[in-house]
């Protein structure tokens, strides 16, 4: 166990060092936080190394994954992802504290305190960014539920996939403006950040999701096939969004994924029945 702990801490040391180097002059205060974290991780590695004779090697796979996340998803997501590993380490250290001699127990308690301090520093630094990201997740999630429902409702009303796709895009454009307005109003009440930026993130993310859901309707003439692929796109987007949100906000991915997917399919089913009812009672079938 000491070997694995030493390996984890050494890997964290290298990871934080490389992240601090990548920051350069972008954010000096955050660069300093990463450098302090790297120094502490090396101290932790030194402590655990004293309990085993085998010199550990770093996990190159984890370091490569971290660098990839940094490039693709940004520093906020990457650090929040690393924090999850820190939390697991803290839980593991608490479980083995009583197995160590008094001197070692005292050091491990100090290590736990330092790991928790890292998390608080990161949380303070990223608080505003995380709040902005929550507006993006809000826009994407709402779009997936609402636009998927509109497309499914169109199955009972329209004969043309192109018309159904355009209906989704037009509805998405209108709803994105409404969502952006709501986000602006929400951000004006107690949010320590730019209300305009929050509204922009929400509106753009909503409209992008609407366009992605509508795309299959322009690639086939068969309404059912278009709907199936649109829903597949929706489920894939939900998976990405809820995974991203679970890392950023610390929520449970499977629970969030199941809830949002269930809501999307529930709304789609209800609006499909509504579309059939409107078609039956009005006798109108749009081209």
- The sign of the dihedral angle between the CA atoms of 132, 213, 141, 170 is positive
Higher-confidence position of 147 and 187: 147
Contact 209, 139 (CB under 8 A): yes
Measured between alpha carbons, how far is 234 from 10 in angstroms, rounded to an integer? 40
Please tell me whether residues 172 and 273 are part of one structural domain.
Answer: yes
Domain assignment present for 29: yes
Please tell me whether residues 168 and 262 are part of one structural domain.
Answer: yes
Domain assignment present for 112: no
Residue range of the domain that includes 85: 2-99
- The sign of the dihedral angle between the CA atoms of 145, 146, 150, 151 is negative
* pLDDT above 90 coverage of the chain, percent: 0
pLDDT above 60 for 284 = no
Contact 63, 11 (CB under 8 A): yes
Please tell me whether residues 60 and 197 are part of one structural domain.
Answer: no
Over the stretch 64-90, which tens digit does the pLDDT of each residue have? 888 888 887 777 778 778 877 777 777
Domain assignment present for 109: no
Please tell me whether residues 58 and 161 are part of one structural domain.
Answer: no
Please tell me whether residues 175 and 255 are part of one structural domain.
Answer: yes
pTM: 0.70
Residue 41 CB contacts under 8 Å (≥ 6 apart), including other chains: 9, 10, 12, 13, 16
The count of structural domains within the chain is 2
Domain assignment present for 247: yes
Share the mean pLDDT of the chain: 78
Confidence of residue 175 (pLDDT cuts 50, 70, 90): confident
Domain assignment present for 226: yes
Q: What is the DSSP letter of 250?
A: -
Please tell me whether residues 83 and 37 are part of one structural domain.
Answer: yes
Domain assignment present for 111: no
Domain assignment present for 105: no
On the 0-12 / 13-18 / 19+ scale of CB atoms within 10 A, 50 is exposed
130 token code pair: 């995380």
pLDDT above 60 for 286 = no
Please tell me whether residues 93 and 199 are part of one structural domain.
Answer: no
Please tell me whether residues 157 and 274 are part of one structural domain.
Answer: yes
When mean pLDDT is compared across 145-159, 172-186, 217-231, the lowest value belongs to: 145-159
Measured between alpha carbons, how far is 163 from 141 in angstroms, rounded to an integer? 24
């Amino acid at each position: 166990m000491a070997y694995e702990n030493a390996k984890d801490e050494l890997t964290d040391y290298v990871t934080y060092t490389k992240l601090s180097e990548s920051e350069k002059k972008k954010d000096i205060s955050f660069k300093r936080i990463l450098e302090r974290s790297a120094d502490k991780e090396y101290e932790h590695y030194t402590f655990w190394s004293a309990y085993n004779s085998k010199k550990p090697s770093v996990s190159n796979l984890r370091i490569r994954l971290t660098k990839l996340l940094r490039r693709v998803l940004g520093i906020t997501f990457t650090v929040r992802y690393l924090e999850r590993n820190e939390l697991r380490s803290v839980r593991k250290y608490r479980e083995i504290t009583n197995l160590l001699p008094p001197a070692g127990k005292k050091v491990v308690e100090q290590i736990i305190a330092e790991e928790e301090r890292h998390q608080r520093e990161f949380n303070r630094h990223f608080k505003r960014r995380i709040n902005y990201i929550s507006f993006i997740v809000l826009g994407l999630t709402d779009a997936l539920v609402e636009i998927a429902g509109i497309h499914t409702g169109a199955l009972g009303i329209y004969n043309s996939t192109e018309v159904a796709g355009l209906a989704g895009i037009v509805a998405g454009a209108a709803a994105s403006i409404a969502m952006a307005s709501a986000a602006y109003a929400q951000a004006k009440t107690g949010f320590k950040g730019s209300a305009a930026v929050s509204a922009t993130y929400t509106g753009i993310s909503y409209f992008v999701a609407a366009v992605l859901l509508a795309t299959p309707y322009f690639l086939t003439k068969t309404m059912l096939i278009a709907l199936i692929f649109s829903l597949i796109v929706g489920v894939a987007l939900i998976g990405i969004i809820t995974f991203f949100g679970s890392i950023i906000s610390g929520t449970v991915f499977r629970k969030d994924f199941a809830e949002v997917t269930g809501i999307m399919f529930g709304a789609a089913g209800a609006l499909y029945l509504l579309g059939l009812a409107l078609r039956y009672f009005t006798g109108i079938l749009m081209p």
